[in-house]
Structure 1
Amino acid sequence: MTPDQVKLVQQSFSKVVPIADQAAILFYDRLFEIAPQVKAMFPADMTEQRKKLIAMLAAVVNGLGDLPSILPAASALAKRHVAYGAKAAHYPVVGAALLWTLEKGLGEAWTPDVAAAWTTAYGTLSGFMISEAYGSAQAAE
């Protein structure tokens, strides 16, 4: 990621923070709409899960300027997700739900540059997580 892309992601996320609860609801509603099979991996009461999502996003966004600082936590998270039943194929679906949520939440602030920056950020992190959880062969798929 370029420094400008990091800045765009961080600035745009600061606009999501005030609507974090609504954004988390939008995200999971969208995820379960486009991938209903993953709903079984989540608790019936999503309150804590939504808080974890926003906290994780905040940690990643804040650490983008020093990517190596967030990689150990991303690796551990990826490995935990395997135990929950997550597959490498789920990562693009989660990314699509995330980008859709950001587009809805940011409205006019969702510019092509912001979209590209978030796409790069998610692609970088999800590629690393897939590699950590499933090995480099899966990451190439």
Structure 2
Amino acid sequence: MAGLSDKEVALVKSSWEDLTKNFPEYSFYFFTQLVQIAPPVKDLFPFLKGSSEVPKNNPQLEAQALKVFKLTFEFAIGGPIADPTLKQLSSVHVQKGVVEAHFEVVKEALLKTVKEAAGAKWSEDLNIAWAKTYDGVAVAIKNGMKAI
């Protein structure tokens, strides 16, 4: 676990269920938030590069968003990222030119998306649980990037 209490793990699990009920909608929301927060990040994603807006019902967009959320969720409930996965993620982030500030943009968009999906269940505790988990994933990837 990413240093989460049992309560925080339960919150992440519950909100994961809310997210996955309509993941196509939430993946679109996530990428819309990313682009609103930092428009230049579009160029890091082939399916957004050169487009003026985030495409709806795009399988690549949904797959990418699912990777981000699923990795964060799995880190929350199960602990460390497998070494081959970490090496691959770190390598892709280096190749794409991801920098420190990009991790904060993704975190902000992720937390806004969790809040949107949670609706009335949203709480500061839920926000903190996802933030702690995402921070753990980000640190692992950034450490992997430094090792390349």
Scaled to the shorter chain, the TM-score interval is 0.7 to 0.9
- The aligned amino acid for 2:13 is Q
Q: Verify: 1:17 aligned to 2:29, yes or no.
A: no
For 1:31-90, what per-residue CA distance to the aligned partner results, in whole angstroms no more than 9, with x for missing partners?
Answer: 01111111112123653132232144224413533212x242244213211111211221
TM-score with structure 1 setting the length = 0.83
1:86 alignment partner, SS class: coil
Count how many residue pairs are aligned between Structure 1 and Structure 2: 134
Q: Verify: 1:129 aligned to 2:138, yes or no.
A: no
Structure 1 stretches of 4+ with a deviation exceeding 6 A read none
Measured in 1, the distance between the counterparts of 2:99 and 2:82 equals 19
The answer for the alignment partner of 2:47 in structure 1 is 44
Correspondence list, 1:1-141, <5 A: 1-44=4-47, 46-68=58-80, 70-72=81-83, 73-134=85-146
- The aligned amino acid for 2:100 is A
The answer for the alignment partner of 1:138 in structure 2 is none
The answer for the alignment partner of 2:51 in structure 1 is none
Measured in 2, the distance between the counterparts of 1:28 and 1:14 equals 19
TM-score with structure 2 setting the length = 0.80
Measured in 2, the distance between the counterparts of 1:57 and 1:74 equals 15
Measured in 2, the distance between the counterparts of 1:75 and 1:3 equals 29
Determine which structure has the larger helix proportion and give its number.
1
Measured in 2, the distance between the counterparts of 1:19 and 1:41 equals 25
List alignment gaps of at least 5 residues for structure 1: 136-141
CA contact (8 A) 1:9 1:61 kept: yes
1:44 alignment partner, SS class: coil
CA contact (8 A) 1:3 1:65 kept: no
